[in-house]
Structure 1
Amino acid sequence: MSNPDSWPQLAYEEHIWESSAHFWGVNAEYTNTGLRYAAAIPPQIASQSISGLNASTLRHAEQATMELIRFDQELGSMIANFAPVLLRSESASSSQIENLSASARAIFSAELGLIKSRNAEMIAANTKAMEAAIDLAEEISSGSILKMHEVLMSSQNIHAPGQWRDEPVWIGTNSHSPHGAEYVAPHSARVPELVDDLVLFLQRQDIPPLVQVALVHAQFEAIHPFTDGNGRTGRALAQSTLRHRGITRNVAMPVSAGLLADIDGYHQALTDYRQGKPEAIIQAFSAASLRAVANTRQLVTEITELRNSWNDRFHARKSSNAWAILDLLMTQPVVTAATAAQHLGVKTPNVYPPLKALVEAGVLQSKNEHKLGLFWRSDEVLQAIDRFAKRAGKRSKS
């Protein structure tokens, strides 16, 4: 009998693969029925003790938690001004773990309807999922997890948005069959009960917050409840859990940007978790949180210094709408006349003169995009965000 204080590892059960596809030639083998494969049975963890965790792991998690809280408190309401940038940075980093990358310019432009990159479009959708995750943080449920996935996947028509899967999913082999896969997630019939159990674990208050975030994420990835988008939804759920436990109150801390520094280690930690060894994923989230704080401090400093430099480079009367646009650019570095006017609460024609003045001062650049009209952008802020991504390990492309 296993130690009741140790974290349980996954069990497995045999299933028979029945393919609904029909292949010919070299793929004909995948039409064979009767292929046997082992699907995981994740343990239920709602009442699982964490007393068997290594003391140093718990101390590291506590250190990272205090650093996250301290960062939030030090900057106070100021950090809330950077919430849109940090949210998009977290979304981009989470997507990069799935090999989806795009420049900051492409991502912010995609949110305004300018789609030049499928990756940017998908990252923009991930940002909406992150927003939904934070909005739903007060009371996390199976329904709120479905909502996160629905928002994430709404722009495609292949995978059912906001629905538990009704078919096998697997990792580490060809797309035709789970036979020989590195990991086959639990049978779809088990998914609703496992997610309900996960939600009960998430609602516990007797577990250190960051430890809980890491374990919730790893258990969610073991369940793999959707046909696609599990990783991005799981990291959105991590943001929701951070907010739910009160670690982050003003912003979505880009923890995924910290995970990017060691993607192989992150994936190995998820494998270790499935083998009943949870320390690695807790350590990964703790280290990622500390990296995220350091990286975010630098980003906030760079953008704040940029804003101060604009005061020296741009001159206008105090009542000019240009000053409000400068504040907007710190967190929304790509705008249209309509979005700028909406933010300022004025009619659209009133923002054209200040936008023109900012272009003439070299603060903004403008480009007429086919069918969508003029877009204005701050290359300086976009470059600061791309530098943040580079420090995190994300390779950017347009």
Structure 2
Amino acid sequence: MEPFIPERLPLQQIAWEPLIPLMGKVNRTLARYDGLLQGIPNPSILLSPLITQEAVLSSKIEGTRATPGDVLQFDAGEAPVEVERRRDIDEILNYRKALLHAETVVAERGFSLSLLRELHAILLDSVRGEDKKPGLVRTTQNWIGPPGSTMEQALFVPPQPLLLPEFLENWVDFYRSEQPDFFVQLAVIHAQFEILHPFNDGNGRLGRMLVPLFLFERGVLSRPAFYLSAYFEKHREAYATGLRQLGTEPGAWNRWIDFFLQAVHEQARADTEKVLAIMKLYERLKEELPALTHSQYAMPLLDRIFRQPILQARHLAGDPAMPSRPMITNLLAKLKQAGILISLRPGSGRRGEVLAFAELLTLCEA
């Protein structure tokens, strides 16, 4: 199979009229979702579990098997025994770190190829792929296919490296340009990035990370808290097929854009329901915890279990918003007795008990 030669952007063959009804639906559902985001009183707390879920799902598409619970248990000091599971978690933690870094940088100076390289370096730092030149655009030919396949057996061969600088510059120019519709533009941005496959590893995760960053930078979202990995994982075959057909079959770009817009619409609806459920849970416990604990520390404790839904008492001891260690133990015991926290692992000797905020975890993983 020969290296693919992509079309330059902007595309000339998009049939806009069939897309108009779906474009309208996407605008409405995402506007409703962003209105909800703007009404969250403490988004860094309430949205924190969703960032971890996105990191898990985007990495899962690339073959990792760790769950959100695995990652949160690791955050709570419970490292997995299996070496492969620990490697999975390290990749997921890098993805989460890259997402948070990207939000800060985009807010300060906008998107650039330099930021893309920074994110790639974070993704591959000290994990599988660390030998794939983190942060550097590839200078060798790569291909996409089953493990162990040769270039001749590949499902897709991206452009040859000598053409990459030209096509990447064109892609960045298109990213920064003003187009008739944000969401159609984003569909093309994401697909063209996957076609270019500009790095030796990590292209899929970076391509999915671009979705919230673009919408945030363009002001469509007030926070980059919208992720498509759940939809792409659920429709993995359609996602991969749609990308592979681009530039090779008539009407493929319109079919891809239709698929992408449908993904945004469905995920925005699902995320709206999920965030509403999280906010409802938070508001309910904001009423219950003070009455349950009779403590001035009820609200700081509530915020902490939302931010870290799997934890040990010792993690709270160093928090300046928390009381003494005996009082922390007493507060957690009351939450456990009320069924708000459950025990994942009992304490033994110097090992503390691991507790989980099960209702929040269930909401986030739904």
Superposition TM-score tier, normalisation by shorter sequence: 0.7 to 0.9
- In the alignment, which of 163, 181, 184 is matched to residue 136 of structure 2? 163
Inter-CA distance 293–372: structure 2 relative to 1 (3 Å threshold) = farther
Partner-residue secondary structure (3-state), 2:152: coil
Matches within 5 A, 1:1-398: 37-45=1-9, 48-49=10-11, 52-78=14-40, 80=43, 81-111=45-75, 114-116=78-80, 117=85, 118-138=87-107, 139-156=110-127, 157-173=130-146, 175=148, 177-275=150-248, 277-310=252-285, 311-312=287-288, 315-319=292-296, 321-337=297-313, 339-340=315-316, 345-346=321-322, 349=325, 351-366=328-343, 367=345, 368=347, 374-386=353-365, 388=366
The CA deviation string for residues 298-357 of structure 1, in whole angstroms up to 9 with x for no partner, is 3234334444554447612251x2332223323431234465456654577464443343
TM-score, normalising length: structure 1: 0.77
The CA deviation string for residues 31-77 of structure 1, in whole angstroms up to 9 with x for no partner, is xxxxxx511222332xx255733312243134213311222114523
Q: Which amino acid aligns with 2:299?
A: W
Shift of 1:162: 1.2
**Contact 1:62–1:208 (8 Å) recurs in 2:** no
CA distance in 2: counterparts of 1:370 and 1:99, whole angstroms? 37
Q: Which has the higher strand share?
A: 1
Q: Which amino acid aligns with 1:65?
A: N
Inter-CA distance 173–375: structure 2 relative to 1 (3 Å threshold) = closer
Shift of 1:159: 2.2
**Contact 1:185–1:223 (8 Å) recurs in 2:** yes
CA distance in 1: counterparts of 2:169 and 2:24, whole angstroms? 27
Residue ranges of structure 2 left out of the alignment (5+ in a row): none
Inter-CA distance 325–249: structure 2 relative to 1 (3 Å threshold) = same
**Contact 1:102–1:119 (8 Å) recurs in 2:** yes
Inter-CA distance 384–208: structure 2 relative to 1 (3 Å threshold) = same
**Contact 2:14–2:253 (8 Å) recurs in 1:** no
Partner-residue secondary structure (3-state), 1:136: helix
Q: Which amino acid aligns with 1:258?
A: Y
CA distance in 2: counterparts of 1:338 and 1:190, whole angstroms? 54
Q: Which amino acid aligns with 2:51?
A: L
Out of 370-379 and 191-200, give the one that drifted further: 370-379
Shift of 1:199: 0.9
**Contact 2:34–2:221 (8 Å) recurs in 1:** yes
Residue ranges of structure 1 left out of the alignment (5+ in a row): 1-36, 389-398
CA-atom RMSD, angstroms?
2.8
Partner-residue secondary structure (3-state), 1:225: coil
Q: Which amino acid aligns with 1:83?
A: L
Shift of 1:204: 0.7
CA distance in 1: counterparts of 2:34 and 2:350, whole angstroms? 41
Q: How many residues align?
A: 348
**Contact 1:132–1:151 (8 Å) recurs in 2:** no
Out of 355-364 and 258-267, give the one that drifted further: 355-364
Q: Which amino acid aligns with 1:142?
A: L
Inter-CA distance 77–274: structure 2 relative to 1 (3 Å threshold) = same
**Contact 2:310–2:357 (8 Å) recurs in 1:** yes
CA distance in 2: counterparts of 1:215 and 1:70, whole angstroms? 24
**Contact 1:61–1:286 (8 Å) recurs in 2:** yes
Q: Which amino acid aligns with 1:122?
A: E
**Contact 2:4–2:159 (8 Å) recurs in 1:** yes
Out of 126-135 and 339-348, give the one that drifted further: 339-348
**Contact 2:183–2:261 (8 Å) recurs in 1:** yes
Shift of 1:149: 1.1
Q: Which has the higher helix share?
A: 2
TM-score, normalising length: structure 2: 0.84
Q: Which amino acid aligns with 2:97?
A: K
